[in-house]
Structure 1
Amino acid sequence: MSEPRIRALALCVFHHQGKILVNQFVDADTQQTLFRPLGGGIDFGEHSARAIVREVQEELGQSINHLRLIGTLESLFTFAGKPGHEIVQVYDARFDDPSLYQRAHLDARESDGAPFVARWHDSRSFSEGTPLVPQGLGELLKNAGLLD
């Protein structure tokens, strides 16, 4: 059994007309629906901004620009019955391809090849029962003017 560790994570918020692009998934243990922006782990020796560029390329096959750090969150949570601890760098960026903002959803792939669909959601999609994660992200985005 591996020792618990703190994971360094970078997430990117793409926003358009009051909506943000998120992946919807379900905690298999609690059956709770969760929403999270795109992104992933920061590799050792990799700057978090570079991790965002890499993750978006891997997940969507898209390039981005105007990358800016919005803030940092510390997330303590339980997922699938296991405790987690993440330090999360949250970025805002724009897609190089403006047509992506007109699509209702974007087909994507996890690093293990598993497919997922990223969709545009406004703040009404998120609640205590169906939260935007990590905790504190909604407030950070509202303070930055990226979510109503």
Structure 2
Amino acid sequence: MSVDRSYIRVKAMLVSPNDDGSRHLVSRNAPTSENPLGFHRLIGGSVELGETHQEAIIREVHEELGARILDLTHLGMVESIFRYNGELGHEIVALYSGRLEPAPADEGGTLTESDGSVVPVVWRPFDDADITVPLYPAGARNWIRSSLT
């Protein structure tokens, strides 16, 4: 299913650390023309009409992972202007932190997207200087570094 990128979308995304605080959960996405190695994306998704961004992150995590969020904390807002397979995209992202219950396994975890597709999830190190796969939204990296590490 293609996504209409002709308007600014509102998203809510989660930085969810593992038990020892060394890594956080991200989805592992397929290669694009801009990212031939694929990319990592924070967990979460679109805010629906009439829904707050806090309600959206709670709903998205439940739908995608079958989990609930403990210690949910709003970190701030991130604006993301990007290209996805050549198409311009623009998102305003409400960024949250919190722990997942239950947390996905260290390896082999997945999430289910709204279109029914299954996407792998991985635990990305907070110290990601040596990771060549980019993290999106890119502006979240500053929040992750300053707020959670």
TM-score, normalised to structure 2, is 0.85
Question: Match for residue 82 of structure 1?
Answer: 87
The answer (yes or no) to whether the contact 1:60–1:109 under 8 Å persists in 2 is: yes
- Distance in 1 (alpha carbons) for counterparts of 2:100 and 2:131: 30
Does 125-134 or 3-12 show the bigger shift?
125-134
- Distance in 2 (alpha carbons) for counterparts of 1:101 and 1:27: 23
Aligned with 1:78: secondary structure?
strand
Q: Is 2:23 the partner of 1:19?
A: yes
Match of 2:69 among 56, 64, 71: 64
TM-score, normalised to structure 1, is 0.86
Identity %: 31
Q: How many aligned positions are there?
A: 143
The superposition leaves residues 70-113 of structure 1 with CA deviations (integer Å, 9 ceiling, x where unpaired) of 1111011000110000000010112233xx26633422111100
- The CA deviation at 1:132 is 1.0
Question: Match for residue 49 of structure 2?
Answer: 44
Question: Over aligned residues, Cα RMSD in angstroms?
Answer: 2.1
Aligned with 1:71: secondary structure?
strand
Aligned with 2:6: secondary structure?
coil
- Distance in 2 (alpha carbons) for counterparts of 1:22 and 1:3: 22
Match of 2:117 among 101, 114, 125: 114
Task: Decide whether aligned partners of structure 1 residues 85 and 68 sit closer, same or farther in structure 2, where only a CA change above 3 A counts.
Answer: same
The answer (yes or no) to whether the contact 1:105–1:120 under 8 Å persists in 2 is: no
Question: Match for residue 38 of structure 2?
Answer: 33
Question: Match for residue 133 of structure 2?
Answer: 130
Q: Is 2:11 the partner of 1:9?
A: yes
